[in-house]
Amino acid sequence: MAKKILMLILRLLLFSSVAVILGLAIPNLIAEWYARSRQFQVEQTPPAPVAIVFGAGLTRDGQPSPVLRDRVATAVQLYFDGKVKKILMSGDNRFVDYNEPGAMKRYAISLGVPEEDIVLDYAGRRTYDTCYRARHIFGVRQAVVVTQRFHLPRAIFTCNSLGVEAVGSIADQRVYSRYAHRFWRIREIPATAMAFVDVFITRPLPVLGTPEPIFGLSDESSFQEQAHP
């Protein structure tokens, strides 16, 4: 009897392990497949009205982390190449002494972007929140999402699933440490699975507020006509 119970427990553990592995692997495979034809180097990135830059942490002195600097610099290059008209910088500002969007803005201005073409989202605490707010607060319908290659599949999939027609521009502007890159890749596995839960099951509401459309439909349409004569 004890042997049968033990075998039953082992089978349950095996089935549970397989279910967990599949539950983590399948969303990642789908996101990778979905994003494969939608991510580009800067030079090949299709034009869109807005570039969305995702927060990626600050240093102790409040400056953008190297990863975040690369994201901002990539968006700035898109701007000066005429591929985007505005830059939406989305990050965390839950604490008085931690302001990702503000730091991103200062860095972009130092690179020559006019202040009036920078829009700040202070409640982009997660990729899901940034994409949701881009559509429902800032009225973004089409965008280039700017982030590193390891994060692009989740960002592209999430934004498209939430109503923002998005392609991705690869922001890998340096060789990152092997340890950091391995950590990011591992972290993306459960994060992408959770993105599927958010998009298809729970649909959580992020911090919202009064709509702040970046520009009207006529402005967005005009940009598209100029980009695709």
Token pair of 114 as six digits: 């006019």
Token pair of 34 as six digits: 């979905």
DSSP lists the bridge partners of residue 92 as 123
Is residue 57 within 8 Å of 68, Cβ to Cβ?
A: yes
pLDDT per position as a tens digit, 125-171: 999 999 999 999 999 999 999 999 999 999 999 999 999 999 999 99
- Within 1-151, where are the H helices? 2-36, 66-80, 100-110, 127-136
Q: Is residue 23 part of a domain?
A: no
Range of the domain at 219: 34-172+179-227
Q: What is the pLDDT of residue 226?
A: 44
Q: Is residue 39 part of a domain?
A: yes
Q: Is residue 166 part of a domain?
A: yes
Helix (H) or strand (E) holding 220: helix 217-227
Token pair of 26 as six digits: 């399948």
Three-state DSSP class for residue 205: coil
Q: Tell me how far apart the 2 most distant CA atoms of the chain are, in Å.
A: 77
The CATH number of residue 38's host domain is 3.40.50.620
Q: Is residue 6 part of a domain?
A: no
DSSP lists the bridge partners of residue 24 as none
Number of domains in the chain: 1
The Cα 90–Cα 142 span in angstroms is: 16
Q: What is the pLDDT of residue 151?
A: 96
Cα-only R_g, the chain? 20
DSSP label of 200: I
Question: How many other C-beta atoms can be found within 10 angstroms of the C-beta atom of residue 114?
Answer: 9
Q: What is the pLDDT of residue 23?
A: 63
Q: Is residue 159 part of a domain?
A: yes
Range 220-228 contact pairs with CB under 8 angstroms and sequence separation of 24 or more: 220/49, 220/141, 220/142, 223/47, 223/49, 223/85, 224/47, 224/49, 224/142, 227/47, 227/48, 227/83, 228/47
Q: Is residue 191 part of a domain?
A: yes
Q: Is residue 202 part of a domain?
A: yes
Q: Is residue 75 part of a domain?
A: yes
Name the stretches of the chain with pLDDT < 50: 222, 225-229
pTM above threshold 0.95: no
C-alpha to C-alpha distances, 94 to 121, 125, 169, 181, nearest whole angstrom? 12, 8, 27, 26
